[in-house]
Structure 1
């Protein structure tokens, strides 16, 4: 997707993936147990622990414990990674909460969020050239990945400034292209996430006028897995939780080993250790499984997902047949269901994080 391409391109990709997911789910046959799985990831500070764990042998350690083979597959374009998961080419993927709802779940692919990894606490931002006042965005073209969490952040920023989304014109730009686009004199407003955001902030006259730190806990980063696959292969969830929390424990250490782990993540992200450390400072990592369980069980997650689904429905992301924001059901620990209880396709499952908290993996 190149600068200037409108909604249609991304919507076409989404609904293509949705159609494939709907067709595959209609077969009605439960998956057979198996031993090899592919998990997709794209470059983002909060997701770099996964490829690092593969490089460091942590993935193999936990996979071997459960007799599995787990492959972490890099996909250079974030939206494409989610579409590949939705289409059944990947068993799981790293994804933000809104995109988990609007792409696989809205397309009928039953999806379980098993790792609440972090929330963006400044890793996503709105940039303006020549002004440090968000109000000056009115009437501008704004480059972003349309219908993603960047679009949600823009809507929330405009809401805080008393403006509707129609106050600006959005220009759909792939995350792989947005940093380059922002170097153009013609582009004066953009919304992006790290690592692209860090590069874009260094542009002449660029100012970050609103960020995810202004709405803490609303942009949540997850590891999701196909629900049927997980049900047939519960050891996959156990292995993934073990991988995540062992890696978290290592990278949190202020030791040579911890610093080297973070430096290796920086290299995998194509950046320097200093820049990566800066990105981590604006990423609230749920390094403690007990804290992740608490956040997943908190009423605030239901409140956040209510806000996210209302925005998503207003943008038409639930498809033409959706008559209300309740069209897509979401379930939460404790039996809470948001939306249609007969169409639950996004499940916040804290069971594997709870096992990690209890030392039961």
Structure 2
């Protein structure tokens, strides 16, 4: 259940072997293989499945849940998925490695559910100097940590990073083995179980820095626009269903996330789900973090500066607002 910055580079070598088959000819109806993992902005797909909203919109979907977010990235890159819900950071990293991917929908922005949580006695990012921080290297929470350190005029050299998977990092923090942890919901709930602990930096401090999207392979978008449109329409219809049936929706999503309904409700403010109007605004070209093209350029520059990619990925054709614009939901 990790939200990593980069898919396995070796997986990209298999891209050339992953073309259409006779059963999946261009323009012919096909099953959409879509992946998602543990993040509040992606659990609405579970609601769509359980309420029959994919079928209602005329699309057959093979919805695959990944315990490991990394595996979902690899599955998309190797052609074992047609689409995946993933961060902009991950998509840029994959594209920089040669993947041909297209963002057709904004699921959400992280507005607090990615957090740097510190033990009692540490009240600011500046006070992390000389301390040990557990974080999964390459994740967006590693990215958040670097942003927070930069804002405090520190660098990664000023702390000791203990690389652990996100669930293990939260558990290590809870056990008192590290001074702080970078984690995302629902693992923030685990970390905050340490008495007196608190978030000293969150994604709310960096608006627009962690957007999450529905990403298709570029070939699938070209060959199966009807299915892509149906997926986008289903997203907006699902949000309407959730709004009309909040308690039932929370129960579905909390169960999938392995947390209580009460805990799931606490994630609401920290993940801003994007309806159609917010999507349209995000896809517009602009010069603020609210605009995807601006944010992509900022993230690309940061990824290079942090040494996470060798060069800035090409952005031409990355964003396709066609399907959001065509949706009437």
- What is the TM-score normalised by the length of structure 1? 0.82
The residue matched to 1:306 in structure 2 has which SS? helix
**CA-CA distance at 1:167 after TM superposition:** 1.5
**CA-CA distance at 1:56 after TM superposition:** 1.5
Q: Is the 8 A contact 1:46 1:283 kept in 2?
A: yes
**CA-CA distance at 1:161 after TM superposition:** 0.7
CA spacing shift, 1:123–1:298, aligned 2, 3 Å: farther
The residue matched to 1:263 in structure 2 has which SS? helix
**CA-CA distance at 1:310 after TM superposition:** 1.3
Give runs of aligned pairs for residues 16-55 of structure 1, distance below 5 A.
16-21=10-15, 23-24=16-17, 32-33=25-26, 34=28, 35-55=30-50
**What residue in structure 2 maps to residue 282 of structure 1?**
270
**CA-CA distance at 1:302 after TM superposition:** 2.4
Give runs of aligned pairs for residues 120-139 of structure 1, distance below 5 A.
120-130=110-120, 131-139=122-130
Q: 1:60 aligns with which of 48, 55, 60?
A: 55
Give runs of aligned pairs for residues 173-212 of structure 1, distance below 5 A.
173-212=164-203
**CA-CA distance at 1:88 after TM superposition:** 1.4
Length, aligned pairs only: 320
- Does structure 1 residue 292 correspond to structure 2 residue 287? no
Stretches of structure 2 lacking an aligned partner (at least 5 in a row): none
- Does structure 1 residue 161 correspond to structure 2 residue 149? no
Superposed CA offset, 1:55-107 (max 9, x none):
12112222xx2xx42111001011221122112111111101101111x2122
Q: Is the 8 A contact 1:230 1:237 kept in 2?
A: yes
**What residue in structure 1 maps to residue 97 of structure 2?**
107
Please report the RMSD computed on the Cα atoms of aligned residues, expressed in angstroms: 2.5
Distance 1:200 1:252 in 2: 30
**What residue in structure 2 maps to residue 15 of structure 1?**
9
Distance 1:24 1:108 in 2: 14
**CA-CA distance at 1:29 after TM superposition:** 10
- What is the TM-score normalised by the length of structure 2? 0.90
Stretches of structure 1 lacking an aligned partner (at least 5 in a row): 2-9, 332-343
**What residue in structure 1 maps to residue 321 of structure 2?**
350
Q: Is the 8 A contact 2:285 2:293 kept in 1?
A: yes
